[in-house]
Amino acid sequence: MTDFTMTKDADGVATITWDVKSKSMNVMSTEAFAALSGLVDEALADASVKGIIITSGKKDFAGGMDLNVIAKMRAGGAQAIFDGVMQMHHVLRKIERAGMDPKTLKGAKPIVAALPGTALGIGLELPLACHRIIAADNPKAKIGLPEIMVGIFPGAGGTTRLSRKLGAMMAAPFLLEGKLSDPKSAKGAGLIDEVVAAEDLLKRAKEWVLSATEADLVKPWDAKGYKLPGGAPYSAPGFPTFVGASAMVHGKTMGVYPAARALLAAVYEGALVPFDTALRIEARHFTSVLMNPSSSAMIRSLFINKEALEKGANRPKVADQAVKKLGVIGAGMMGAGIAYVSANAGIEVVLIDSTQEAADRGKAHSSDLLDKGMKRGKVTAEKKAEVLGRITATTDYAALAGVDLVVEAVFEDPKVKADVTHKVEAATGADCIYATNTSTLPITGLAAASKRPDEFIGIHFFSPVDKMKLVEIIRGKKTGDVAVAKALDFVRQIRKTPIVVNDARFFYANRCIIPYINEGIRMVAEGVEPALVENAAKLVGMPLGPLQLVDETSIDLGVKIAKATKAAMGDDYPDEAVDHVLFWMADQGRLGKKANAGFYAYSDKGERLGLWEELEHKYPQDKMQPSLADVQHRLLFAQVLEAVRALEEGVLTDIREGDVGAILGWGFAPWSGGPFSWLDIIGAGRAVEICRGLSAQFGPRFHAPALLREMAEKGETFYGRFGGEKAAA
């Protein structure tokens, strides 16, 4: 069964319908592209065909290129990628020209794209090559070019066509930020040409085909005297756009994302030459981006493996466990957020706190978030009422009757948590799964308070709950498969990404973040300039430097964690030097952003002003500062070695979760694809060599774990050794 089929009607209009039968959303494959090309040839050669409609047999037009295909294209090498991309350009150019005589610009057959719904990536690049784009008025549809989000850029002419259609400035949000729009906004921005009622889509497309004039079929860039909207790069109005875009891209990406830079180069260089040469330039930059290990690592983690985890790659094979009614105990910052995302996903929620006032305050959080959504036009008054109607705020545990999952988010105190476990178990049925949102307390220990430890699990959300995409699910020693499936099905309902890890101090994410923060603080104690620490982190792609991060999460929380860790580890505790700084900061009342005072200074309104200058007096800076690379190695290895240890110890059982969890959980340099992908990029041998240098200079925390040393000796990669079929790409 081919993905494209063609019918011809009595009025001479051919309709090419895209419908990938094996998938709910159309995605483009190499074979499908060839089939489309064949049908276009046939229609153009058929004298009885006056024009062509390209549409979809599904509710949406297309989700984009099959990224698995892109991942495999790399295997063929640069020349094969370039040739493949040029072939795609050839087909889309054929559609754009549609039989036109290049000299007279006459004789083309009209080709219209009729989009019933979402059109992303190649799903918009193909329409951009057509003569007109008509979309159904479907406010849920998303139209745009999101490629930059997974480390590539629109490489099937989208970059060149959109920048020529809108001008570099207006195209920038769609190309550089992957901005998606609903059909009406897309029309407003000039991305598409027309929006019509869904039921009129094909009728209107046909009408247009039959009434199009010769002039409608000549793209501006094929017409004589074409000028780039907004001005060419060397013109007075165009020049500042490119300078500004270049500065913006560098400011946002810190130069670590090859795709953003290559995209900008393709637009700039393309704007200097004729259209067909611009397509070759786009293909050359696209090839270089696909050959860059960063892009394949990003595609693998942020698209292929993220989706695999969301679809339940590691879900035990038990019956569907979708949550019907949820209990949330503790209506503070986390509980309120969990109640909101759940009610928003259509789940009934009972939100309990120790006082009615606290429970109501928790529910008010949902109301505030929905109000914000209403202000942005994303939420209707009915939707707000519906979501709030699903949340019952109470102090009465009897309201838990009939819940099938409880998430506890009370104070981080084992005694308080044990008491809540007893109360919940007395009020719920034998099949109710009990989850704790603890961030530091081992699950197995907390499960000791439960009569049903096989139904006891950790579901660790990140703050703020409505924004953070990752949820870490923790299996205690006695946690059973049904509890794991329940947690995974719940996370799927609320449309977040899960990882499943085994129980250990700090689980996975916090285990890796804490050493990152600590390494930054340790450097301050050693006399490294705080600005060097922060900038080194950002220049390697971390969204926040370690000092800003601890300011955000709060310094008193850091003190609390340090004390608890020291109590648990005794003489083995390695972080005295860190505590020196941390405890002193806390003593100064500099508790972080919430106190408007931390490693950074803040204005009265809470705006971050700059690093706190007094720090320098307490911890004088060395005249000889380390190199940028040395600081970056310390910050990165503090995290990735912890990830390797988590794998070695069986806390992580799947490196895909290690990579996806790191990027979504704490923003580990997304360009790298995650800690394991990064180690694969630099190679285990080089990693061990760096560890040798770091441990000689800074101590045993940088010793290469045995696993890494063994892999270096054998010349192995993580994805080669642990990826197998499931993780390979």
Interface positions with ligand NAD (CB under 6 A): 329-335, 352-354, 358, 409-412, 416, 419-420, 437-439, 460-461, 463
| Pair 153, 280: CB distance under 8 Å | no
Please give the helix or strand (H or E) that residue 28 lies within, else none: strand 27-28
CB of 170 to ligand NAD, least distance (A): 39
Determine the number of helices (DSSP H) and then strands (DSSP E) in the chain: 32, 21
DSSP 110: P
Which of 238, 665 has the CB closer to ligand NAD? 665
Which of 277, 463 has the CB closer to ligand NAD? 463
Q: Residue 302, SS3? A: helix
CA atoms of 305 and 659, how far apart (whole Å):
9
3-state SS, 9-24, equals CCCCEEEEEECCCCCC
Which of 73, 555 has the CB closer to ligand NAD? 555
Which of 413, 576 has the CB closer to ligand NAD? 413
Which of 340, 678 has the CB closer to ligand NAD? 340
N-to-C CA span, the chain = 26
CB atoms within 10 A of CB 726: 13
CB of 329 to ligand NAD, least distance (A): 5
Which of 118, 510 has the CB closer to ligand NAD? 510
Give residue 729's Cα distance to chain centre: 18
Longest dimension (CA), the chain: 87
CB of 414 to ligand NAD, least distance (A): 10
CA atoms of 462 and 510, how far apart (whole Å):
10
Cα distances from 160 to residues 121, 283, 480, in angstroms, run: 13, 10, 53
Which of 175, 334 has the CB closer to ligand NAD? 334
CB of 130 to ligand NAD, least distance (A): 48
Query: How many alpha carbons lie under 13 Å from residue 34 in its C-beta half-sphere?
Result: 4
CB of 441 to ligand NAD, least distance (A): 7
Respond yes or no: is residue 460 known to be catalytic.
yes
DSSP 625: P
Beta strands in 85-241 (DSSP E): 111-115, 119-120, 132-136, 143-144, 180-181, 194-196
CB of 510 to ligand NAD, least distance (A): 9
Any bridge partners for residue 84, and if so which? none
Q: Closest Cα partner for 512 from 651, 318, 699?
A: 651
User: In this chain, which residue has its C-beta nearest to ligand NAD?
Assistant: 332
CA atoms of 49 and 109, how far apart (whole Å):
8
Please give the helix or strand (H or E) that residue 667 lies within, else none: none
Please give the helix or strand (H or E) that residue 60 lies within, else none: none
H helices within 570-674, ranges in order?
576-587, 615-618, 628-648, 655-666
| Pair 112, 52: CB distance under 8 Å | yes
CA atoms of 21 and 35, how far apart (whole Å):
15
Which of 438, 518 has the CB closer to ligand NAD? 438
CB of 581 to ligand NAD, least distance (A): 22
CB of 363 to ligand NAD, least distance (A): 12
* From 89, 131, 460, 633, active-site residue: 460
Which of 115, 424 has the CB closer to ligand NAD? 424
| Pair 254, 539: CB distance under 8 Å | yes
CB of 461 to ligand NAD, least distance (A): 6
CA atoms of 221 and 164, how far apart (whole Å):
7
CA atoms of 393 and 428, how far apart (whole Å):
17
Residues with catalytic annotation? 460
